[in-house]
Amino acid sequence: MRRLVLLGCCIALSGCDFTTWRHLPFTAGTDPYMPRGNSENLLRAQGLPVDVQPLTAEPGNVWPPPPAAEPTLESLEQEGGQLPNEAVPPPVPAQHGSSTPPPMPPPPPTSIPAIPPVAAPSAPAVPPPPVVNTPSGPAAVSGGGGGYRTVTLPNGTTGIVVPNGNGTSTVIYSNGQVQTIPTPK
């Protein structure tokens, strides 16, 4: 009995037009999932010969011309000071009447209040010693600040005395000479 039912089902199903059974993908017949077309890439993917024209060079000169030479100061002076691409300024119209210009309107008032200047705190002032003894002779202190002093030797040479912080100072003279001396107290 079972054999008869199986045979009847096979005969009944053979009359159906079910394409999945007849055309299984990637096995028999045409692939329903294959892309359709005739472009060069599809023909190459299918393994068919493709006739392709080779690339050729563009006729003529395809490169831009070299940039124009920049004008020199001499050529600008000879031309009257105008750059090649610069527009000529419009002429100033003639003024008639008084040679006194009209009065300017007053500036608008500012709404920002003025901040009074604040003096920076300073260290207690220590008067510099009047004379610094250098190997070149005694030098008179003529000025300076907190980190240096300017000195003048009797022969007119000037210099800067910079304390090193280790008990010595470096003297840099105006003629380029550099000396190390004990720090003046």
124-162 pLDDT per residue, tens: 655 555 788 888 788 888 888 878 888 888 888 889 888
For the cut 70, the answer to whether the pLDDT of residue 17 exceeds it is: no
Sign of CA dihedral 38, 40, 42, 45: positive
CA–CA separation, 129 vs 15, rounded Å? 125
Cβ within 8 Å of residue 133, ≥6 positions away: 139, 181, 184
SS (H, E, C) 36-88: CCCCHHHHHHCCCCCCCCCCCCCCCCCCCCCCCCCCCHHHHHHHCCCCCCCCC
Taking only Cα atoms into account, the Rg of the chain, rounded to an integer number of angstroms, comes to: 50
Per-residue pLDDT at 19: 56
Mean pLDDT of the chain: 77
For the cut 70, the answer to whether the pLDDT of residue 65 exceeds it is: yes
Query: What share of the chain in percent tops pLDDT 70?
Result: 65
For the cut 70, the answer to whether the pLDDT of residue 183 exceeds it is: yes
Please indicate, yes or no, if residue 152 is contained in any of the structural domains.
Answer: yes
For the cut 60, the answer to whether the pLDDT of residue 178 exceeds it is: yes
Please indicate, yes or no, if residue 155 is contained in any of the structural domains.
Answer: yes
Over range 24-33, report the average pLDDT.
61
pLDDT band of residue 49 (cuts 50, 70, 90) is very high
170 forms beta bridges with 162, 180
State the residue range of the domain holding 1. Answer: 1-48
Give the residue, 108 or 23, on which the prediction is more confident: 108
Over range 24-30, report the average pLDDT.
57
Per-residue pLDDT at 119: 67
Please indicate, yes or no, if residue 111 is contained in any of the structural domains.
Answer: no
Please indicate, yes or no, if residue 86 is contained in any of the structural domains.
Answer: no
Give the residue, 176 or 104, on which the prediction is more confident: 176
For the cut 80, the answer to whether the pLDDT of residue 50 exceeds it is: yes
CA–CA separation, 160 vs 152, rounded Å? 9
Instruction: Name the nearest CA neighbour of 175 among 153, 161, 160, 158.
Output: 158
For the cut 60, the answer to whether the pLDDT of residue 22 exceeds it is: no
Please indicate, yes or no, if residue 25 is contained in any of the structural domains.
Answer: yes
Please indicate, yes or no, if residue 104 is contained in any of the structural domains.
Answer: no
Please indicate, yes or no, if residue 64 is contained in any of the structural domains.
Answer: no
Query: What share of the chain in percent tops pLDDT 90?
Result: 2
Please indicate, yes or no, if residue 101 is contained in any of the structural domains.
Answer: no
CA–CA separation, 77 vs 44, rounded Å? 68
Domain boundary among 10, 29, 48: 48
Instruction: Name the nearest CA neighbour of 153 among 164, 143, 142, 168.
Output: 142
Give the residue, 98 or 142, on which the prediction is more confident: 142
Tally of domains in the chain: 2
